[in-house]
Amino acid sequence: MRDQLILLPGWGLGSAPLEPLREALLEQAPHLNVQIEPLPGDADAATWLDELDDNIPHDAWLAGWSLGGMLAAELAARRGEACRGLITIAANACFRQREDWSAAMANEVFEDFFEAFLLDPVMTRKRFTLLVSQGARDARTLARQLQVALPQLDSEALSAGLQLLGQLDTREALHNYPGPQLHVFAGSDALVPASAADALLEWLPDIEVSVFADASHGLPLERPDEVAKAVLRFMQEGEDA
């Protein structure tokens, strides 16, 4: 559907952080059908993309935050012209560093976080909310908002999601997807370095990239009105093309 936008959430925090963005999108574009599609809850990450493909309508715009953005990229490439357009928010092409992709989280930092989660998932997820809000104009309030809305802990599914986050390399998917792309980054993101925006433009010069200065990884919750405006402008350009 040309007026349907699917939002995929990030790791560990559920759908609540995307609700302000959804509300902002509907306020600015009441005709739009905006749906937040939860990430799969099973422990077999290899089947997540298949499950999302089954659940999400074709011919919709796909958008995702962080891990959700990486999954949206893979799904867009799978669907090709059946996906109207791709939007990622604070999502890196590779979340952790690779030999040919340095604009990402250091491998030892990711591995330490993964080990900490396995040892104490409750405290590690709380620590994650602090990382997501780090760099925000009001980081303390943003962290509280994230913590209050935390979904029930499912350690196996979250562990699977972390493994997937560390494994995904969406560069081929982004290169192969034939539709329009917008990639939104946060200038003060503690999890996805702002330098990833330049790296992505170097990889794919024909895509659209936007960087929100003085913003955190929690961009959809921190600056929903501004993100919604950028998304809707991009979608309108795609419809007019």
Q: Over the stretch 195-209, which tens digit does the pLDDT of each residue have? A: 999 999 999 999 999
**Residue 238 pLDDT level (bands cut at 50, 70, 90):** low
Q: Over the stretch 5-16, which tens digit does the pLDDT of each residue have? A: 999 999 999 999
Q: What is the pLDDT of residue 174?
A: 98
Measured distance CA(132)–CA(14) in Å, rounded = 13
Rounded to 5°, the CA angle 45-211-35 comes to: 45
**Residue 42 pLDDT level (bands cut at 50, 70, 90):** confident
Residue 73: which CATH number? 3.40.50.1820
Q: What is the pLDDT of residue 44?
A: 83
Domain count, the chain: 1
DSSP designation for 223 = S
Report in angstroms the alpha-carbon separations of 135 from 92, 109, 188, 215.
Answer: 17, 18, 5, 6
Instruction: State the average pLDDT for the chain.
Output: 95
Measured distance CA(142)–CA(8) in Å, rounded = 20
Q: Over the stretch 90-136, which tens digit does the pLDDT of each residue have? A: 999 999 999 999 999 999 999 999 999 999 999 999 999 999 999 99
Q: What percent of the chain has pLDDT over 90?
A: 93
Q: What is the pLDDT of residue 80?
A: 96
Q: What is the pLDDT of residue 46?
A: 81
Tokens of 135: 């760099």
> Which residues are paired to 61 by β-bridges?
5, 85
pTM reported for the whole predicted model? 0.96
Domain range for 80: 4-240
pLDDT beyond 80 at 2: no
Measured distance CA(154)–CA(117) in Å, rounded = 12
Q: What is the pLDDT of residue 21?
A: 98
58: CB partners within 8 A, 6+ apart: 79, 82, 83
Rounded to 5°, the CA angle 10-5-164 comes to: 25
pLDDT beyond 90 at 224: yes
**Residue 216 pLDDT level (bands cut at 50, 70, 90):** very high
